[in-house]
A and B are shown apart, each in its own frame.
Chain A
Amino acid sequence: MAIKFEQVSFQYPSFDGKNFSALENINLEISDKGEFITLIGETGSGKSTLVQHMNALLRPNTGSVTIYGIKIEKNTNKNKKIKLNPLRQKVGLVFQFPEYQLFEETVLKDIIFGPKNFGVKEDEAIKRAKEVIKHVGLTEDYLGRSPFNLSGGEQKRVSIAGILAMEPDILVLDEPTSGLDPKGRDALLELFTNIHKKLNKTIIIITHDMNTVYKYASRVVVMHDAKLVYDGLPNMLFMDENIEKWNLDLPDIIGITKQLEAKLDITFTKKPHNVNELFELMKGVL
C-alpha cells in the first residue's frame, strides 16, 4: 500500500482551549496502482484535513499515517532524521485555488519550480514542463506567458501541470472543478481520466458533485463529522440508506430515474448509467 492510515485522529488547536476535532479514528488504505477515488462529504467534515495528511503536511495527533513505508506520527518531525519533503514528490497535492501556488513570472518557471525543489536538473525540468503542459490540455505557447494573465480555468490547469511535473505516483486534487462552468468542468475531468489511464497514476479528487462521483470514480470515500463513514463502490453508495443522513444528494441520473419510475409506476430492468441508457430503457417501456 502506498498510503495507510491507522486510527488517525487530528484536532486543530484553538485559543480558547476547545479544540476542533477534524479527524476521528480514520483507517484507510490507498494504492498507487491506478485508483480513481472521489472524496466527498459536507463542508467541514474533514476532507481537506484528510488529504493534507496524505503528503505529510499535517501529522496525526494520535495514530499513524504510513506513506511509502515511512511512518508518520505525532512526534515524527522532532526526529530530524526522517525527511518528510521527499514524500511530497510521491504524493502530489493540488490546492483548490491556483492563486495559492502560482507566483513566477512565466508559466514555464512556475511549472519547473516543484521539480527543481526536489533536485531535478533545470533542462530535465524544462523537458517535463513541455510534456505536462500538453497533458493538461494547453499548448507550449503558454509556457512563455505570465500565469497571472490567464483565465481561471487556465490557471487551474497550470497549477495542476506544476504538480504533474514533479511526477508523483498519486495525484490529489482539492475541489478542482469548483467555480468552473460545465464545459470547463467536464474538460478537466476528462483530463484526469486520461492522466489516470495513460500514466497509470492514482487520482484522488475532493468534490461536492455527485455526478462526478458516479461517472468517474472507481472508489468513493465519504467523510461525515470527522469520521470516515463509507469506503467502497459508488454504485453501492447511492443505494445506502444513510445517504440522507450524510447530507449527500443523488447523481442526476439516479434521481431522475427514480422519479420517473415512481411517476410512471414502473421498474426499469436495469440501472442506467447515463442519459442514453435511460433513453433506451424508456423506449423499451413506451
Chain B
Amino acid sequence: MNIIEITDLSFSYREDVDALHNVNLTIKKGEWISVLGHNGSGKSTLAKLIIGLLKADSGDIFVDGILLTEETVHEIRRKIGIVFQNPDNQFVGVTVEDDIAFGMENLNFDRLDMIKKIDEFSKKVNMNEYLKKEPHELSGGQKQRVAIAGILAMDTDIIIFDEATAMLDPKGRESIMEYIRELNKEGKTIITITHDMKEAVNSDRIIILKDGEVLAIGETNTILNDKETLNASNLELLLPLKLLYKLDEANIKNEKVKDILWQLSLNK
C-alpha cells in the first residue's frame, strides 16, 4: 500500500528557476527511503512540500490516500512528523519535558496520557534523566533525540529526517542513525534527506535529486551499482564502492573480494 504518492510536483522560489521540477514518487507503508542530493538540489524543499509548509506550483501529493490541500493539511500533519536540521531552531519548550509535550498539547491529548507518553518516549530516546533540563544544557544530538521523542509521542506513521544529522558531531550522528534504523524496524515509514551516501546505504530505496530533478530512483542495491548515475550525481562515492568500480574497470573478477567490498559499502 502506498502511504505517499507524489505526481508531477513542481515548485519554484523565484520565477525563473524551478527548485523542484516534475517529481514523481511513491512511498510504501513501512518503507525507508533516502532522498540524496547535493546542496541546493531541492531535497529539503521536497520535505517542506510534503508537510504543507510550502505550496506546490503544480502537481499533487497524497498522504494515506488524502490529497494535500489547505483544508486537509492539518489532518496530514497528524500523519507525518519531521525532524529538521538545526537542533536549536525546533526546540519549542522551555524544558525537555515541555518540548516533548508540545505536539501532544496541540493535538489536545489528555494530560495523564501525555505524562505517560513523555515517560515512555523519553526512555526510548534515552533522555528520561533530562526531563527538567533546558535546551542550552543539552548537546545537539540530545536536542535531536528530544525532537524524535516529541514526534513519537504524536504517533505519526511517517517520520521525515530533513538533514537531521548535518549539524551534529560523529557521535551524535551515529546515535540518530541508530534510532532511525530502529524506528524503521518497528514499522515507521522513514524518509531521510541527506547528502551523505553513508546514511543512505541501509535504506530500502534511494531517490537522487540533482538541480531539482529526479536523477534516479530505485532499490538501494540497484542505485549503488549504477556507476554512471552516481558519477553524474555530484555526490561523494563511498570508498569501497569506488574500489569496486575500479576493479570492474580493470576487469578483475574476484567474487570474494567484490562481495567483501559490497558488504563494506553497506556498512556491514
CA distance A249 to B240 in the complex (A): 17
Known contacts A263-B260, A286-B252: does B40 contact A42 (CB below 8 Å)? no
Q: Which of B40, B167, B247, B257 makes the CB contact (< 8 A) with A178?
A: B167
CA distance A253 to B238 in the complex (A): 10
Q: Which of B196, B239, B247, B250 makes the CB contact (< 8 A) with A252?
A: B239
B134-175 vs A, Cβ < 8 Å mask (1 yes, 0 no): 000001100000000000000000000000001101111000
Interface presence of A259 (CB below 8 A) = yes
Most B-side CB within 10 Å, residue of A42, A182, A184, A208: A182
CA distance A263 to B264 in the complex (A): 11
Cβ contact within 8 Å between B169 and A256: no
Cβ contact within 8 Å between B169 and A43: yes
Interface presence of B219 (CB below 8 A) = no
* Interface residue count on the B side (C-beta < 8 Å): 31
CA distance A42 to B260 in the complex (A): 31
Would you give the shortest CB distance from B175 to chain A, in whole angstroms? Answer: 12
Interface presence of B38 (CB below 8 A) = yes
Would you give the shortest CB distance from B93 to chain A, in whole angstroms? Answer: 22
Known contacts A43-B169, A286-B252: does B39 contact A279 (CB below 8 Å)? no
Cβ contact within 8 Å between A286 and B254: yes
Interface presence of A270 (CB below 8 A) = no
Would you give the shortest CB distance from B192 to chain A, in whole angstroms? Answer: 15
CB contacts (< 8 Å) of A42 on chain B: these are 169, 171
CA distance A42 to B250 in the complex (A): 40
Cβ contact within 8 Å between B139 and A278: no
Cβ contact within 8 Å between A183 and B166: no
Q: Which of A179, A263, A264 makes the CB contact (< 8 A) with B167?
A: A179
Q: Which residues of chain B from 240 to 262 have any CB-CB distance to chain A below 8 Å in the complex?
A: 240, 242-243, 246-247, 250, 252, 254, 256-257, 260-261
Q: Which residues of chain B from 176 to 205 have any CB-CB distance to chain A below 8 Å in the complex?
A: 195-196
Q: Which of B140, B257, B264 makes the CB contact (< 8 A) with A256?
A: B264
Cβ contact within 8 Å between B166 and A179: yes
CA distance A253 to B243 in the complex (A): 11
CA distance A153 to B246 in the complex (A): 31
CA distance A259 to B260 in the complex (A): 9
Cβ contact within 8 Å between A180 and B171: no
Q: Which of A44, A152, A180, A260 makes the CB contact (< 8 A) with B139?
A: A44
CA distance A179 to B163 in the complex (A): 9
Interface presence of A75 (CB below 8 A) = no
CB contacts (< 8 Å) of B240 on chain A: these are 256
Would you give the shortest CB distance from A54 to chain B, in whole angstroms? Answer: 22
Interface presence of A275 (CB below 8 A) = yes
CB contacts (< 8 Å) of A78 on chain B: these are none
Known contacts A279-B246, A282-B243: does B169 contact A151 (CB below 8 Å)? no
CA distance A275 to B239 in the complex (A): 7
CA distance A249 to B169 in the complex (A): 11
A130-171 vs B, Cβ < 8 Å mask (1 yes, 0 no): 000000000000000000000111000000000000000000
CA distance A259 to B267 in the complex (A): 11
Interface presence of A269 (CB below 8 A) = no
Cβ contact within 8 Å between B243 and A181: no
Would you give the shortest CB distance from A276 to chain B, in whole angstroms? Answer: 8
Cβ contact within 8 Å between B195 and A43: no
Cβ contact within 8 Å between B260 and A283: no
A179-B166, A286-B254 are known; give 5 further A-B pairs, CB within 8 A: A42-B171, A181-B234, A249-B170, A259-B260, A279-B250
A–B Cβ pairs within 8 angstroms, 19 of them: A42-B171, A43-B169, A44-B139, A151-B39, A181-B38, A181-B234, A182-B196, A182-B236, A183-B38, A183-B236, A249-B170, A256-B240, A256-B243, A259-B260, A264-B256, A264-B260, A279-B246, A282-B257, A286-B252
A-B CB proximity, top 9 nearest: A182-B236, A181-B195, A181-B39, A252-B239, A43-B169, A181-B38, A279-B246, A263-B260, A275-B242
Binding site for A on B (CB under 8 A): 38-40, 139-140, 166-167, 169-172, 195-196, 234-236, 238-240, 242-243, 246-247, 250, 252, 254, 256-257, 260-261, 264
